[in-house]
Amino acid sequence: MNIEQDFLEGKKSAISKLNRAKKENKVDIGILSILDIINGSDNYYTSSSCYGRIVVLEIPNIGNKKEARFLDKWHRAIDIEELISAIKKAKIGQIWLLSQSPIIHITAKTNDAADRILKTAIACGFKNSGIKSFKRKIVVEICSTERLDVPIGSDGVLFSNKEHLELLTGISNEIFNKSRKKLDKLEKQLKKDLKTHKSTNN
């Protein structure tokens, strides 16, 4: 099987998985329109994505993601009462507040196609984006630099007072809202770019 056939088979499989995830409501609604634009191009398909989220996480120790427990997560801005409510679910382990910017993994058909969509992403504010090569695949990771990862307690005991939680809530929401504006800009630019550039084979 040659590289182009690999790409087509990979796209067929990825689209099938995405459609199944859509039916099961496992895809972030806010990012669906961008995924559809990218997947509508002959040169690309998406393999994974996240709209951006705010998370309260409980972990036994640093790096132990396997045993981490989500106390709550939101794909939107939150208020401090929601944050406090999530923290109250904590039992054993470190309590972390995370605010994560959007991420999209895109497989490109050619190096030229990968370079074009990468430049578009960076121009739209996703400065931490880059190209990753996995065996016969050319994968573009679109992501931004804004994020918050802060410990706020341990073993059910909160170390932050309400004023500090209000500050962290505000920062988390600012990161989320800034990311949403970048996604809006990216969507508009992709609509233009992917209409201009048809299938490439070089």
The mean pLDDT value of the chain amounts to: 91
Domain extents in the chain: 3-196
Amino acid, res. 145: T
Q: Rounded to an integer, what distance in angstroms lies between the CA atom of residue 126 and that of residue 141?
A: 10
Positive or negative torsion for Cα 4, 5, 6, 8: positive
User: Six-digit token pair at 42?
Assistant: 């002959």
Cross-strand bridge partners of residue 137: 134
Q: What is the pLDDT of residue 138?
A: 93
Residue in 138, 79, 84, 86 with CA at minimum distance from that of residue 114: 138
Given a cut of 60, is residue 194 above it in pLDDT?
yes
User: Six-digit token pair at 6?
Assistant: 């690999």
Q: What is the pLDDT of residue 14?
A: 94
**pLDDT mean over 8-18:** 94
Q: What is the pLDDT of residue 13?
A: 95
Query: What are the pLDDT digits (tens) for 120-155?
Result: 999 999 999 999 877 778 999 999 999 999 999 999
Provide the strand spans (E) within 22-171. 44-50, 53-59, 69-74, 94-100, 103-108, 130-134, 137-143, 147-154, 157-158
Query: What are the pLDDT digits (tens) for 45-60?
Result: 999 899 999 999 999 8
Burial of 87 (0-12, 13-18, 19+ CB in 10 A): buried
**Thinking of the domain 3-196, which architecture would CATH place it in?**
2-Layer Sandwich (3.30)
Burial of 84 (0-12, 13-18, 19+ CB in 10 A): middle
CB 55 within 8 A of CB 73: yes
Angle between the N-to-C axes of helices 3-23 and 32-39, in degrees from 0 to 180, rounded to the nearest 10: 150
